[in-house]
Amino acid sequence: MSEAMWGGRFTKTVDEMVNEFQASINFDKRMYHEDIAGSIAHAIMLAKCGIISDDDCGAILQGLKDIEAQIEAGEFDFSVDLEDIHMNIEKRLTEAIGEAGGRLHTARSRNDQVALDTHMYIRREVVAVQKEIINLQEALLETAKKNQDVIMPGYTHLQRAQPILFAHHLMAYFGMLSRDYARFSGVYQRADIMPLGAGALAGTTFPIDRELVAKQLNFEQIYSNSLDAVSDRDYIMEFLSAASILMVHLSRLSEETILWCSREFSFVELDDAHCTGSSMMPQKKNPDVSELVRGKTGRVIGHLMAMLTTVKGLPLAYNKDLQEDKEGIFDAIDTVKFSLGVYAQLIRGMKVKKDVMRKAVEEDFSNATDLADYLVKKGMPFRQAHAVSGTAVHKCIAEGKYLADMTLPELQELSPLFEADIAEALKPETCVNQRISLGGTSTEQVKLQLTAAQELIDAEKKTNTNLTSQQI
């Protein structure tokens, strides 16, 4: 076992089991780019402030760039003995350039260093997640535009309720995703605060320039309290919260997709690329992608609960417990990005069965509200109209038919207000297009939703491109 870089105070080496237990290199090595970028900015600042020489700074910068090239080429051997990505890089740097490498850690602690790396990493991944959200939004919008004339049953309590446009249904998920995008924008703001310069917890005695480092690394803000800087994990909890809500939305979409492609519904057919078969039953076409996304939702929610539980009892400032922030957030990031990406493919490859949906609308009583509304527009109070419509439904069920099958004389027995135009009022197209209130399911309102959705996507893309260009 190599000697720990912090081992001067100790007379024994760490037990091998403890060493492996506390090491984080196996998962935090993915932050190598952020660690090197932060160290480069820190070294430049130290030189400009006269804390290290220009020669040492030059050697450090070249050494760090060489190490990054080695990591990206797969030529860097990470050591568990060195615990984490920070110590692995610093050890290699010191081996490569000598004493100058040992000066890099001047005026900083691993506490503010790891906080910096994580802030930068979360910023970058927020932008990546938002890009995937936009991709899924585009898939929903494309599918909605292709199926603007498709009418389907809308549901409450999983019972057919009122006719709606299929495009209207898809745009409900678009709305959820737009809020998810906005939530991640909030996460970005809270991650866009620079902790470096806080030291272990109390700042540093060296005359550093935190503003210079923040400018190099494109941070909008700097922590004004050193204790807060090294112990804050709000942005990670907020990321996991936004990720959990996003996954809940995808899980709801998954549940509906699973229902829709079942034999009982048969509203859509998923592409073979997003399904699997059975090892025993030759006829099976299982919606595995949707089921996996639904299942992985619990995994992301679990990471949120774990992080909240970890932080809830921690005193200021840094505690080793906070190392537990990374495995959960890394896994959540991977899960969310995969789920968004695969769902965009699934939506684009999905076949919409217009005729089946139409038949479902015609063979139910989802136009019962429209029958009541018809009477209200003729002057009858709604509660009375509701009772008349309910009586009509009861009569139809008893006789094995639907409201559209009732003759005008039959309807007039229930109310003299019924006229010949009731037949038109009960058609699915009429039921849909009469819902003209803002945000309703009428063709015109859905067209407005589609136009607004495209405008929102364009704005999101512009913001995402700008943020992408700011990442180090």
- Give me the active site residues, please: 157, 278
Closest C-alpha among 196, 199, 10, 2 to residue 83: 2
**Pairing of the two strands 151-156 and 159-165:** antiparallel
d(CA 109, CA 415): 82
Q: From residue 421, how far is each of 374, 386, 424, 425, 442 by CA, in Å?
A: 10, 19, 5, 6, 19
Q: What token pair was written down for 97?
A: 């350039």
d(CA 110, CA 88): 12
Q: Which residues contact 394 (CB under 8 A, 6 or more apart)?
A: none
Q: What token pair was written down for 194?
A: 């620079």
The residue type of 229 is A
Cis, bond preceding 202 (omega within 30 deg of 0): no
* b (16+ CB within 10 A) / e for 171-196: bbbbbbbbebbebbbebbebbbbbbb
Q: Of how many residues is the chain composed?
A: 472
Using a 10 angstrom Cβ sphere, with 0-12 exposed, 13-18 middle and 19 or more buried, the burial of residue 67 is: buried
d(CA 111, CA 88): 15
Helix axes 325-349, 234-260, angle to 10 degrees: 30
Closest C-alpha among 44, 65, 41, 68 to residue 56: 44
Cα 290 from chain centroid (whole Å): 16
Residue with tokens 């989802």: 366
Range list of β-strands (E), 236-313? 268-269
Contact 220, 194 (CB under 8 A): no
Contact 88, 78 (CB under 8 A): yes
Facing residues of 221 across strands?
193
CB-side exposure of 318: number of CA atoms within 13 Å? 18
Q: What token pair was written down for 48?
A: 């400009």
End-to-end CA distance of the chain: 35
Residue 278 DSSP SS3: coil
